[in-house]
Amino acid sequence: MISRISGKLIELLEDTATLQVGGICYNLFVPSGMIESLKSYLKSETSITLHTIYYIEAGDMKSAHYPRLIGFTDPVDMEFFQLLISVPGLGVKKALKSLILPISEIARDIEEKNPAGLSRLPGVGPRLAEKIVASLAGKTAKYALAQGGKPLALEGRAGRGTISDEALDVLLQLQYNRAEATEMIRLALVESPQVKTSDKLIALVFASQKSPA
């Protein structure tokens, strides 16, 4: 299991960071609220250490599975997140987007058995909030005692669709500028608003760019 990575930060997108370790580059999901604090390390000679969670993401096909890493600068934040994603129904990407409050506040709602407070988090409805309390109450007291701290996720990111986010990241990696990529995605969604996956959305973007024979 990969528990920590130290290397040079060579790329930052809206919710991913790429670290170069020797001749190998690792792409990690990171909470969106960490991006600003990481910018000072971008392409500098200073090494950065991220504490990581390694997991396997299932693809569209039952046989397709992809190894993924999530990175945190603070090991306490990582520990809390690891507890959070142990709750059935709270997947990694939803959990990353939900952290718009400091973890101490989220942990306090869990320990005080206050599902209404947890329901304020993006993607966490009343039923899931009850499940979080039932699963984690009594396990998060140390995180509720944490002083200070900032939200790990930016609230403005929570309203964006995951499929669009992933497609945008792909287009940015392919050297499209943000405005152009955003418009390409918008037009594809206008034509096919029911698209379910980022791979299919990228395919629609590609189809829309093909020149007539």
**How far apart are alpha carbons 67 and 12 in whole angstroms?**
19
Let me know whether 87 and 23 are in one domain. Answer: no
What's the average model confidence in pLDDT over 3-27? 91
Instruction: Give the CATH number of the domain where residue 83 resides.
Output: 1.10.150.20
Instruction: Give the CATH number of the domain where residue 36 resides.
Output: 2.40.50.140
Let me know whether 1 and 53 are in one domain. Answer: yes
Q: Of 109, 138, 155, which residue sits at a domain end?
A: 155
Provide the domain limits for residue 126: 75-155
Number of compact structural domains in the chain: 3
pTM: 0.70
**DSSP secondary structure letters along 164-212:** HHHHHHHHHHTT--HHHHHHHHHHHHHH-TT--SHHHHHHHHHHHHPPP
Among 36-40, 115-119, 160-164, top mean pLDDT goes to 115-119
Let me know whether 54 and 83 are in one domain. Answer: no
What's the average model confidence in pLDDT over 35-55? 89
State the DSSP code for 118.
H
Q: How far is CA 154 from the centre of its chain?
A: 11
Query: When comparing pLDDT for 63 and 126, which is higher?
Result: 126
The pLDDT, as a whole number, for residue 192 is 86
The pLDDT, as a whole number, for residue 42 is 85
- Cβ proximity of 115 and 125 under 8 Å: no
Let me know whether 151 and 168 are in one domain. Answer: no
Q: What are phi and psi of 11, to 5 degrees?
A: -155, 140
Contacts (Cβ under 8 Å, ≥6 apart) of 83? 136, 139, 140
Instruction: Give the chain's largest Cα–Cα span.
Output: 64
Segment 196-213, tens digit of pLDDT: 788 888 889 888 876 454
Place of tokens 């005692």: 145
The pLDDT, as a whole number, for residue 161 is 47
Segment 146-169, tens digit of pLDDT: 876 788 887 654 444 467 877 887
